[in-house]
Amino acid sequence: MNYLLAKTTDLENRSRRDNLRIIGLSENYDEKKSLDTILQEIIKENCPDVIESEGKIGIERIHRTPSERNPKIKTPRNIVAKFQNYQIKEKILQAAKKKPFKYRGATIRITQDLAASTLKERRAWNMIF
């Protein structure tokens, strides 16, 4: 049974390989602009070298999670973006690790999108170290 759970988690993480999670972007930033356009602006502002070398960044999908907003929670919903190219996603992630990203003065975090079970296991390891 543990083998099957581990295998399922591994498959889920592999399917999220091209994804980045954007945390902290306000819900009401430029409602006229699409999330795709906003992400392009964030990348252009914070790591222009990726834009210069690649041109426009190919994004397959981008959306907020969860799909419905809970009125009890005041923090903005996370954004998940699936990139067409893994190497570009890695360049953006490396740039985000070097310095915090900003969008119109607000600090946002960019992290790897991982399965919930993987995040739970990592939190357990953080307590040890």
* pLDDT reading at 109 higher than 90: yes
Q: What percent of the chain has pLDDT over 90?
A: 32
Listed in order, strand segments (DSSP E) in the chain are 19-23, 59-65, 78-83, 101-103, 106-112
Q: Which CATH number do you get for residue 108?
A: 3.30.70.1820
Q: Is residue 41 part of a domain?
A: yes
Q: Is residue 25 part of a domain?
A: yes
If pLDDT is split at 50, 70 and 90, which confidence band does 23 have? very high
Q: Is residue 122 part of a domain?
A: no
Q: Is residue 124 part of a domain?
A: no
Contact criterion met (CB below 8 Å) for 46 and 100? no
Distance CA 91, CA 47 (A): 9
- Helical packing angle, 86-98 and 35-46, nearest 10°: 60
Domain that includes residue 24, residue range: 17-113
Q: Is residue 128 part of a domain?
A: no
Q: If you average pLDDT over residues 44-49, what whole number do you get?
A: 88
**pLDDT digits 0-9 by tens, 50-101:** 776 667 788 999 999 887 777 787 888 899 999 998 888 999 999 999 999 9
Total structural domains within the chain? 1
DSSP state of 65: E
Q: Is residue 123 part of a domain?
A: no
Amino acid at 108: I
pTM of the predicted protein model:
0.81
* pLDDT reading at 129 higher than 60: no
Q: Is residue 63 part of a domain?
A: yes
